[in-house]
Amino acid sequence: MEAVPESISFPKTEEAIIEFWDRIDAFQTSLKLSEGRPSYSFYDGPPFATGLPHYGHILAGTIKDTVTRYAHQTGHHVPRKFGWDTHGLPIEFEIDKDLGIKTREDVLKLGIRNYNQACRSIVLRYAKEWESTVKRTGRWIDFQNGYMTMSTSYMESEWWACKRLFDLNLVYRGYKVMPFSTGCKTPLSNFESNLNYKDTSDPSVVVSFPLVEDPQVKLLAWTTTPWTLPSNLALCVSPNLTYIKIIDKKTKETYILCETRLTALYKNPGKNDYELVEKIQGKDLAGKKYQPIFDYFVEKKGSVGFKVLLDDYVRDDSGTGIVHQAPAFGEDDFRVCLVNGVISTGEEIPCPVDSNGNFTAPVQEFLGQYVKDADKEIKKVLKDKGRLIRNDQIVHSYPFCWRSETPLIYKIVPCWFVAVEKFKANLLVSLQDTYWVPSFVKEKRFQNWLNDAKDWAISRNRFWGTPIPIWVSDDGVDKICIGSLEELEKLTGERPDDIHRENIDHLTIPSPRGPEFGVLKRTEEVFDCWFESGSMPFAQFHYPFENKDLFERTFPADFVAEGLDQTRGWFYTLLVISTALFGKSPYKNLICNGLILAQDGKKMSKRLKNYPLPTLILDTYGADALRLYLISSPVVRAEPLKFAQEGVFSVIKDVLLPWFNAYRFLVQSVHFYESSTSTKFQLNVEDALSSKDIMDRWVLSESASLVSFVKKEMKDYRLYTVVPRLLRFIEQLTNWYVRFNRKRLRGRRGWEEARVSINCLFEVLYTITRMMAPFSPFFSEYLYQNLKRIVPDALESIHYLMFPEVRQGAINTQIEENIASMQSVIVLGRLIRDKCKLPLKNPLKELIAVVKPGQEEGLNELKHRIIEEMNVLDVIITSDEKSFIAKSVSPIASKLGKSLRKDAKPVFDKLSQLTDADVNEFIKNQKIEILGHTITLEDVDVVRGFKGDKGTFEAEWDKDLLVVVHINPDASLQEEGFARQVINHVQKLRKKSGIQLNDPIEVFFEAKNELAQALLKGKREGISQAIGVAFVPEAPTAVPVFVETQATLPFLKENIEVQIRIRNLAHTCHVPSLLDIGRRLNVSSPEKFAEHVQSYVASRSYSQLATTLATNGTLDLHFGGQTVSLLNAKHIFSSASQRAQFEDLFEATK
């Protein structure tokens, strides 16, 4: 394996990986390699390319990529095609802004052909940016062969679907009050109107309607839409509510309103405000005529309208209990007026508002005004006429257009509908065959939506879209729905290549009743873009005209995923169309993610600039960090996420960097093993699997258990349980296994043990890297490209590999539990040290762990590791609670208070007086009798406390585990503490000076005072073992690589001063001895001989030469035809300390 640099730039590494994937055509290659495997089908909801991708797209894309990569890794063939939603309001809205188009007439003046050409030109405005961002996030999906809803093949499939629905009597034309966007000049579906509610301020007015029979008596109606009053045709009351006639004491006016709604008239209703005249049942107000405010429709509707109607929809929780009826602008208004004969089916409903939201004739007073702007003028007229009784403002939640951000109005429009209510029961059956994550979205939100599903308005009065293929006669009698280009040609004689409006609107069909009935013309509307995206399962394949087998083989999809907002969008339209056409759901498994908000909890806003751009995050932290941050958050459980840049950084800090360091340490360990043993490391998994070391067995067991867990949870699409568990394993690997095995991996326990531990570390790193490949595809690939160098027959990319299989034989739950218990002990011990400000370098006398019975044996096997990790002289593991724990009980007042009543205080007092023995008996019997009352364990909290000397010991709890630490250090521990400090100091110097793990070094010390000399004398050997090299006094004259001075022991009175030097090892020669050899050889220049020998020695690899000298005891050289043997430790020295010993002897001999 290649050496690993000290640091890594994750973004730059990812860019290099993208280049690698491009070079080997990784995605397409993976598809070719998986041909013949079971198919796994996936539908990608088509986005619009008129805006740049945001975090919501990246989140959904990451979920889709993760699941489909995993499906590939578990033995499936997973084609992935991107799609574009290329029609509809988003494109038209952009063109309207660009061209300054404000009305329908502006479009017609420009020409539909020119308008649609302009739309076509911007359809893929940001397609390149989309492809670049999707690619940068690591998502593999086919852009080149993706589908577009504006392609003729796609549109023809939509025509087929429409004809099928038409033939099933599921398509009809009708009038309906619909949410209407005046900004986009088109009606919206009910689910679209629910996409963008905002709090807004609107008028809140109470208006009077004098009775014809007695104009002094006035009905009071409340409304927040004064602009609808010019179209008023009736009033409605509830037959079951009680109404009152009152005289206002201030104005002397007589009013009728609901008995419980006086607050609509008075702030704090009281006898001083009004006089009650009589009470009236709502049903008794029926038919009473009133004087209209405006006379625009009196001539047309005077005989049937302007009277009181009855309906149960009127409630008394707001307003006055009397609702004004404008049937063109309210769904209930339309229904009530139709039932009561105020309007009739087939007639033109009074609707003096055009598609721009402006008043039209006959409303002359406000002609041409935008309805919302006209509210102020209308209120002025009401006041002048004496009809405005109360004028306030109200802040309420109101729907806005999801595209134009203009407030919606409700307006009657002619529409083509899919009769969803006819097959609503089938939708609910289809839903039952689907699996949703999280389940509550299906069972609550989506099912409730289906239960209340209304007929779906699929037409839009727009231009850039798939034309609805229905031709209608002028009298509306004949209707023909065309389902293919072939049928179009047969009936019209033409077959255009493009079937947008400009190419087919002129085509007519002869009336089937004969030429005297004229011709059928195409209805002007186009499909709602939600109908188009809901048709993608079959339209992407041009079904049923092509790819019939392919569609039927891959339908329904195994998997879809989008955001929570799509429960009333794409998820819904997919289900409606598929159930109507095919009798089943188009998807089997679905993941629904939550919404991503700005860090302040508000909606992300370009205007407010309250979030970092995705490109900034990708360039700063990389895609893997962003992916892991998103899919390990609550957002994958359909909960909202407040996006925080710090959260992405924490993934780098807590996951990717520790993972990188573990990998780097593995590579260093392999190199160190090879250089130290002069043996090529050979991967042998059996070495790891047969290891007797408990940490090896633990990490292999954890790894195997993790594989089993991930397979089970991913089968159920629970990413929110999988990702945290994967990340936790990386933490376990780096913070526990690697740290506990550093010495062993470096050969301190022999090279055989080192080889086994390296194999073990490789096995778990290789396993977690393959497991993480679907989640962090870049970093997994980066690691694999080096790891595979020692893997036999390795494939080119990690994404060609299968997911690891479960090594059942490696799983040992008892060892996992024992190590988990050890970790808990250590964590609590650290907490105690932190709380008492006792650094880990300071040794302590004792740690006591009080555990549950049965845990002692397992923990005692790990006792030496706790001692080493906690830096204590002894560890005691016991289950003897009585010696360390005192129990008491605390009553749960909310449970006992009600039942005990007056006895509560004396019983509580008695409970507080229970001894430890009493509580133990209470626990044993599960109940206790106190003052005639039976108290159970469910009525109290059992409190455990440490009963030892709190001046000498400190304790921490975690469930059933108590850890106690002796916190008073004494002088007898000073040598241990001093040695620990020196060891830490050496390791810091190593890191600071850039010395690598396998770099040969020497470490020297110089004691600056007597106390330091005394302490070092007794601890040199232990320090040498800990740092892995000799620790010797006073460096020779050679220049040190790095020098750091003065280490002190904080809890001692005296300062202990030590100077430590670290030096790279190098072979040196004893020059006087070389000169003697040169003279004996009669060379012409002994000095040049000595220089040549020194140059040669310096050029040799340190490790190789050291091995030669240790094995042979000599280094043989050929010089001038003569062989010269240089002796180890006499002529050549492997360390400065070795040379110093010889020179001392040499001087003494001389």
- Full DSSP string of 558-576: EEEEEEGGGGGTHHHHHHH
pLDDT higher than 50, residue 1041: no
pLDDT at residue 1047 in the model: 41
Residues paired with residue 1063 on neighbouring β-strands, in sequence order: 1002
Residue 1055 pLDDT grade (very low, low, confident, very high; cuts 50, 70, 90): low
HSE (CB half, 13 Å, CA atoms) of 110? Answer: 20
pLDDT at residue 653 in the model: 92
Q: Which residues are catalytic?
A: 46, 85, 530, 566, 570, 603, 606
Average pLDDT over residues 102-126: 89
pLDDT higher than 90, residue 805: yes
pLDDT, tens digit (0-9, with 9 covering 90-100), for 740-749: 888 888 888 8
pLDDT at residue 1042 in the model: 42
Angle at 1107 between CA 1105 and CA 1109, to 5 degrees: 70
pLDDT higher than 50, residue 1053: no
What's the whole-model pTM score? 0.78
pLDDT at residue 583 in the model: 95
- Of the listed ranges 443-452, 722-731, 1111-1120, the one predicted with least confidence: 1111-1120
pLDDT, tens digit (0-9, with 9 covering 90-100), for 537-557: 999 999 999 999 999 999 999
Average pLDDT over residues 276-305: 94
Closest CA relative to residue 875, chosen from 902, 845, 848, 850: 848
pLDDT, tens digit (0-9, with 9 covering 90-100), for 758-785: 999 999 999 999 999 999 999 999 999 9
Write the CB contacts of 310 (distance below 8 Å, at least 6 apart in sequence): 236, 237, 238, 239, 282, 283, 285, 286
Render the burial of 353-383: b for 16+ CB within 10 Å, e for the rest. Answer: bbbbbbbeebbeebeebbbbebbeebbebbe
HSE (CB half, 13 Å, CA atoms) of 49? Answer: 26
Between 125 and 308, where is the model more confident? 308
pLDDT, tens digit (0-9, with 9 covering 90-100), for 781-803: 999 999 999 999 999 999 999 99
Between 989 and 871, where is the model more confident? 871
pLDDT at residue 603 in the model: 83
pLDDT at residue 972 in the model: 63
Average pLDDT over residues 342-368: 89
pLDDT, tens digit (0-9, with 9 covering 90-100), for 515-526: 888 899 999 999
Average pLDDT over residues 576-588: 96
pLDDT at residue 212 in the model: 95
Cα separation, 893 vs 911, whole angstroms: 12
Cα separation, 765 vs 26, whole angstroms: 23
Q: Tokens for 548?
A: 């019939």
What percentage of the chain exceeds 70 in pLDDT? 94
Q: H helices of 74-151, where? A: 89-99, 104-110, 112-122, 127-136
Residue type, 695: M
Residue 93 pLDDT grade (very low, low, confident, very high; cuts 50, 70, 90): confident
